[in-house]
A and B are shown apart, each in its own frame.
Chain A
């Protein structure tokens, strides 16, 4: 037991390894359908008017995502709600990212709030050609390409838990980031692994944003 603080995501890990001060799962999946706990990613929550200067400054509106560099390395900016954004960055960059966003929004004159929710939310990533099939077992959203193409952000109920669902394909393979209240993270992982088993869903370790 060390006195150095160690951070942990919401999903139990087995076996564990430590990366960047975070205890993460050491497993590396070999299959084509995977679930990983991406909770170590920095998660900064932004509130601002739905359609004003802040939106222009963040570069994306409700329902879509964009990759950007706000000065802290590559981040994923997600239009997660009307007047709500979620900015995802590399682990341990939340403080700098928050400051960079505050600076960027300061000039707008709009009423804005920037909050670090890194520790307050769980973030899972489900990747694979069968990912939409797994989601279709627990969510009423149409995950077809015509309705939910890459770069779509939406919020809905996933296995009875309100979840931000972000389609963020990985090298042409469908991939979904699932963002929930931290305390629901373990439940959601279980709720996906159970129906995902017939499709060969496997747990894999933290992958990061790239």
Chain B
């Protein structure tokens, strides 16, 4: 076999199979074969094979090109973390090829390769090293600024990541809330033992394992390990209180043990985010084997000892033919035994405990020879390193722990003193010993986690109202946890010959020392400057080596150098899983089905779906001005106010006076915030002695309710007022137009005559046979109109009766657009349309309403000062001189020197006047009626317009008072 790494091209003979005979711990099902393709070529796998194990069995050794320099990369860890195996599967990019199981029909391809994996043109980057100097983002692309878009295009072509499709895929994402007593992060021997012990102590447990099977390193161990594994798995299976989540990962630990779990083992769901409020969290992630830094350490064929043991024992794949092994620990020695058993010729074992080691790997596109620190050069296609372990303390760091560097074991270890009560650690992240010691320790941790969970659960239940039975007979004496110490290990990080530190980001040892030489001497700065640890593996393989190199370059110790911050998420999670199912609440009025049946164009207004119009808004306007129209105004906010102190409340919240509102009367009011800015408006009617109905804007309904409650609960808890939101308790229908009285009279026994039921009055009565309706006589449209509030269940009934009984009157349904035109013709402002977050009361033109002589109301001081300054803009009417031009809303109004003096806040073509009309906020110097101003349209054209009174139609208001 050629030592040149290759993906099988059509002209090449098939590489001989690297599949071994059956292995005791293998996870593949040899009875079945499933087809898939790799860069278009047909391949087969056994169920249980990962993409790379199936390809490695077929002799494939190169899976990807690296990020910056497009160097060929092969397997390094042969698990989820493998930086050499990010692949494209169908339309899904960045799939972890050494983790994802093959499925029938999968189309797998390499990423970051053009035109092909074999002939990657971008590998010229290797020759253009200066272009990608340390900190190249900062040095190369900082200036000149106008070239940034060009830089971006150039960079895009060179960075990795696969292709995403703009179409919405078939992927399904979901959320689930969970409330386990104990979450165990990691399903190795410690995790399994802790979960079983916690479940036996009565706790509900979620056991979360990143791999496709429980067992951790026992899975690729010897016969004794496999026996222990079978025993532990049986114990887990026997506990109904344990929910096992495979191919799932704890993504982060947040405040109060809110634990995110990305679950990927659900049929029919691509990824589900479980939001677990864990009473206690056991962190049992095991250890991650650390790569060794030396020249050529990224050549395909250079692997970690755990990688070759996974390939041989789990997937029955021979990882090479002739190997050199550098071992500093017993696991490395076991790899030697595994290799020999698998028929790999072990050319040399370099015992790092005797200071033997590798200094260089040679080869082009794949390993050919290894150079030792004794000057030997050994031909080999496989170099295995076993030089140390990293404790993935990420979840502990997120819980407040700051791991300490332990030079004796050459790794950072957790500091139990800094861990909160609800987080515990078990297994090798704490210390390593034989399986028995690990299990014994983990069982104690599991029992203690269950005990603490019970205590936390009791405290939570005691804090909830009307608690259920809180006597929980669990033992409250702390469990004694045996000590578990890390085993001694030589400190081995780098050979001093260069090589890669971060395989994802292509950061070399030289990049680190250069960064330090340039003054970036803190590990956090080096990280940001070189991007070391910022790739998809997020430092799990790289951090400690980077820290060691920074320490060496600065002359400080590793402990002094410290480590970078490990933040959530622990492992990448899809945006789909974060989003889950879309939950965007929408609200419907009881008449929605009628609107749909009658061709209404829907308008999304906040949460509400409303009819914008039924085809011709101008015709709807004319119907209201000449006959009668009805509009669904259900979203108008409505608050039921009861109690003797309601007048005090109204006086406090509205700028106008309320003490003398009689029963049966309605009054318009405006609310300002404490900064004097208009926040809402509406009418409030007095239905009875202590009973009022307040209306608010549709968009302000929820805000005003919370506002009212805030003032009542916080400032005036002594006031006797009960506020109940009844916005959707009523279907609200405005019957408007000169013939509205005639129509409504056909359906109600309420006396509608002008004398009995005058303008700005309220009555209650039956409409269309429905009792308890509230009728206001008010006029947003400027016509004679009645706003009827019908108990919502009968809304559709009343609406249909109005349409049926008004047929001969030409009754016409009208939508939001016609209403906006009608009110604009009348000059009524809309809060949030004609006012904004800076519009104080006197700008809105409600001067007559604001009663500065009241002792107090919300916003009083600011409004008094606003009037005193008298320099505010004004809300005015505006008419373009050319009445056929409607200046779009937000068109700027220019002052005489061309500066901005205001803007058009509302504008429409008025069907009643046959010309364009508008409202505008304008500086006071230009606000006098009759002033001619220049309006700049969005297309850059200037037009002339005249300032007018705000009321464009029926300025005397006679039409609404008839």
Contact = CB atoms under 8 A, between A and B. Distances in A.
Interface of A: 1, 3-10, 12, 22, 39, 45, 47, 61-64, 79, 111, 113, 115-121, 136-142, 144, 146-147, 149, 152, 159-161, 181-184, 186-187, 191, 194-195, 198
A-B pairs, 10 with minimum CB distance: A120-B729, A63-B465, A183-B587, A7-B793, A142-B179, A63-B466, A119-B791, A183-B728, A113-B722, A119-B793
Interface in B455-514: 457, 460-461, 464-466, 468
7 contacts: A3-B769, A5-B768, A10-B590, A63-B464, A79-B465, A137-B175, A142-B277
B660 interface: no
Given A5-B770, A119-B794, A147-B179, A62 B465 contact: yes
A147 B464 contact: yes
B797 interface: yes
A189 to B, nearest CB: 11
Contact of A187 (B466, B585, B590): B585
Contacts of B797: 5-8
Contacts of B768: 3, 5
A3 B801 contact: yes
Contact of A113 (B586, B724, B725): B724
A137 B177 contact: yes
Nearest to B258: A140
Given A8-B793, A113-B722, A136-B177, A182 B728 contact: yes
A181 B727 contact: yes
B720 interface: yes
Contacts of B175: 137-138
A159 B798 CA distance: 31
Given A115-B724, A120-B792, A194 B581 contact: yes
B585 A161 contact: yes
Nearest to A63: B465
Contacts of B268: 198
A160 B179 contact: no
Contact of A7 (B468, B585, B772, B794): B794
Given A10-B588, A119-B729, A47 B465 contact: no
B585 A119 contact: no
A159 B583 contact: yes
A139 B466 CA distance: 21
Contacts of A146: 457, 461, 468
A115 B464 contact: no
A63 to B, nearest CB: 3
A10 to B, nearest CB: 7
A43 B943 CA distance: 58
Contact of A182 (B457, B720, B722, B729): B729
B804 interface: yes
B333 interface: no
B176 interface: yes
Nearest to A181: B728
A159 B460 CA distance: 24
B521 interface: no
B74 to A, nearest CB: 41
Contacts of B583: 138, 159-160, 191
A195 B174 contact: yes
B538 interface: no
A117 B585 contact: no
A54 to B, nearest CB: 12
Contacts of A39: 793
A115 B640 contact: yes
Contact of A9 (B176, B460, B793): B793
A122 B454 CA distance: 37
A111 B643 contact: yes
A147 B642 CA distance: 35
Contact of B769 (A5, A147, A184): A5
A12 B593 contact: yes
Interface in B564-616: 581, 583-590, 593, 608
Interface in B514-544: none
A94 B772 CA distance: 12
Given A5-B770, A12-B593, A62-B465, A119 B176 contact: no
A122 to B, nearest CB: 9
B724 A119 contact: no
A15 B656 CA distance: 51
A115 B639 CA distance: 12
Contacts of B584: 160
A183 B727 CA distance: 9
A182 B769 contact: no
B796 interface: yes
Contacts of B593: 12
Contacts of B792: 119-120, 182
B805 to A, nearest CB: 9
A122 B732 CA distance: 17
Nearest to A82: B465
B176 A187 contact: no
A7 B768 CA distance: 13
A196 B461 CA distance: 28
Given A9-B793, A184-B587, A1 B728 contact: no
B470 to A, nearest CB: 9
B769 A62 contact: no
Contacts of B725: 181
Nearest to B472: A146
B634 interface: yes
A159 B584 CA distance: 8
Contacts of B786: none
A127 B793 CA distance: 24
A92 to B, nearest CB: 11
Given A22-B793, A47-B722, A138-B583, 5 more contacts: A144-B179, A146-B468, A160-B583, A181-B727, A184-B728
Interface string B871-887: 00000000000000000
B667 interface: no
